[in-house]
Structure 1
């Protein structure tokens, strides 16, 4: 059974010298490849922690950073009233460039972890799917992840025409996404496939189709199951544990 612990990752400019809180999940057998799991818009929810455990059960050492830490937020309960509106407000309060830098710091920290293999991938959902993509743009060296899996990255329409991502990548979108226009998804697909990415468009699936929270009304069990199988197979090929 993977073991989960709360850690603090040193950052160069934390408020009052503070570090970034994160959840570290180690697999049963250490020395697996690393994954920085980048939270969806609702933060480090039980759903995100479950996905961290899922990845660790497949042999990965996983770090789940608290992206909203600089504004004093960890998670927004997805079943709470106006959860989406509250989450959007928090995401807009985040300094995007600083959040990108924090994810790169998490990559560097995990790459230096003596109990992992020093190879690090990014897996991001929704807000985190876009943030993970941005963290790979225009960077080299220890901060650059070796692979990327992005689920319906909400910021990608504003990112894909920027610097090229120089890493193997996998993208999931639903063809019934209510938040990202279909023409924008088609453009994302055109750009990332030209860069060598693998792209999956899931029939009848909405945005956040992997999120099982009933109150959101977005979950698609078939797309969620099949996309996760694709993700694990893709990681096994491009970023083996």
Structure 2
């Protein structure tokens, strides 16, 4: 994403700068992104670009313009001291006014889709400002605050909230000690349009990549919750099933690598969990698809759908893949020569989207079942099964517990009350 620096005029005639970035489609719902105490630095611009990939037009105002215009700080001890000094003298009420001016400006931009509402997202200082903006500015349909500092002191403002509010709280955040966290959670529980989430064993700034406290699983979970709330309140809305089916059509039917890659974000990744095959990034993944996947699958490979769960940002597909092992399949059986055996295996795919593009695939299956079916693993004496795993998925009436030697020993024994 390529953003630009623009100028926003206040009602008093003064102006301050902001970073603006639009989605690849050229237009999307508007979000004001509120900075940490380090200014509109590279990390904040990356956050804006990331949200733009999700389909939003994002504006990041310089909230320190009155005291240190256009300052960009890093995360060294020296820069932290500068940032903390700016934070201590910061007037949050003026900050909300700046968010109001930013929202007003955003609505004038052709890149902003005004058919829906507006959103505010913030981190650290910006997390509290997002909270205050949600409570004070009626045009804010959805606000998200990451580890906002001092929320426990302004909980009474929740009574004025009109839209939806999502709060992400770090369990180990020294700026939000346990008593403060409990007060926030208690207050949030009183409102149906407020959701507060606590992320265990993580600290302040857990969602800032490359930071000392960055925790990728928590950051991803928080982002999914953020985007889900934004989708619900201001859009955009995508048909993820259609997007996913278009992707697999090019993988297995047309076998068209460029068309497959066109369904994905600029830097996607695929991970076939049992065999560690796939690729990370455009170049590596295109190479994988071209030489080790799309043109290498058996001609009779077939997918039988079992179930599908569709969320706001991902699809979880349960299916049976069947094929004749008449060609070497690098991604599924790397280094194994064709055996001519027919194979049926249950699979599970977790398909994540970013905006209208597929972001990543996590594909799971029981590799032991595959090895049993092609004759490379003798199941005798081992707790593994062959084609039975697929057969029982299709017919739950087939016997259970056949691999448990102790199963017959419980026959006729009392089960107990309440069971």
**Equivalent pair of 1:138/1:163 in contact (CA under 8 Å):** no
**Equivalent pair of 2:207/2:216 in contact (CA under 8 Å):** yes
The structure with more radius of gyration: 2
Show the counterpart of 1:161. Answer: 156
Show the counterpart of 1:47. Answer: 43
**Which digits, 9 at most, give the CA deviation of each residue in 1:191-219, with x for residues without a partner?**
123222122111101111112344xx222
**Which digits, 9 at most, give the CA deviation of each residue in 1:53-85, with x for residues without a partner?**
000011100000000011124344333233322
Of 116-125 and 89-98, deviating more is 89-98
SS of alignment partner, residue 204 of structure 1: coil
Show the counterpart of 1:133. Answer: 131
**Which digits, 9 at most, give the CA deviation of each residue in 1:114-139, with x for residues without a partner?**
33222210001110010121123334
**Equivalent pair of 1:78/1:213 in contact (CA under 8 Å):** no
Of 100-109 and 87-96, deviating more is 87-96
Show the counterpart of 2:178. Answer: 182
Show the counterpart of 1:29. Answer: 25
Q: Which has the higher strand share?
A: 2
Of 193-202 and 47-56, deviating more is 193-202
Show the counterpart of 1:102. Answer: 98
1:150 to 128, 145, 157: 145
1:206 to 203, 223, 229: 203
**Equivalent pair of 2:17/2:70 in contact (CA under 8 Å):** no
Show the counterpart of 1:9. Answer: 8
SS of alignment partner, residue 6 of structure 2: strand
Count of residue pairs brought into register by the alignment: 232
1:62 to 52, 58, 65: 58
Mapped to 1, the partners of 2:60 and 2:136 lie a distance apart of 23
Higher relative contact order (CA 8 A, sep 6+): 1
Gaps of 5+ in 1: none
**Equivalent pair of 1:208/1:219 in contact (CA under 8 Å):** yes
1:234 CA displacement: 2.5
Q: 1:134 to 1:48 in 2, by over 3 A?
A: same
Mapped to 2, the partners of 1:73 and 1:109 lie a distance apart of 19
Backbone CA RMSD of aligned residues: 1.7
Mapped to 1, the partners of 2:31 and 2:137 lie a distance apart of 18
**Which digits, 9 at most, give the CA deviation of each residue in 1:4-47, with x for residues without a partner?**
0110011012xxx4312001101111331010000011111211
Mapped to 2, the partners of 1:113 and 1:23 lie a distance apart of 13
**Equivalent pair of 1:131/1:155 in contact (CA under 8 Å):** no
Q: Which has the higher helix share?
A: 1
Of 221-230 and 23-32, deviating more is 221-230
Show the counterpart of 1:222. Answer: 217
Displacement over 4 Å in runs of 4+: none
SS of alignment partner, residue 223 of structure 1: helix
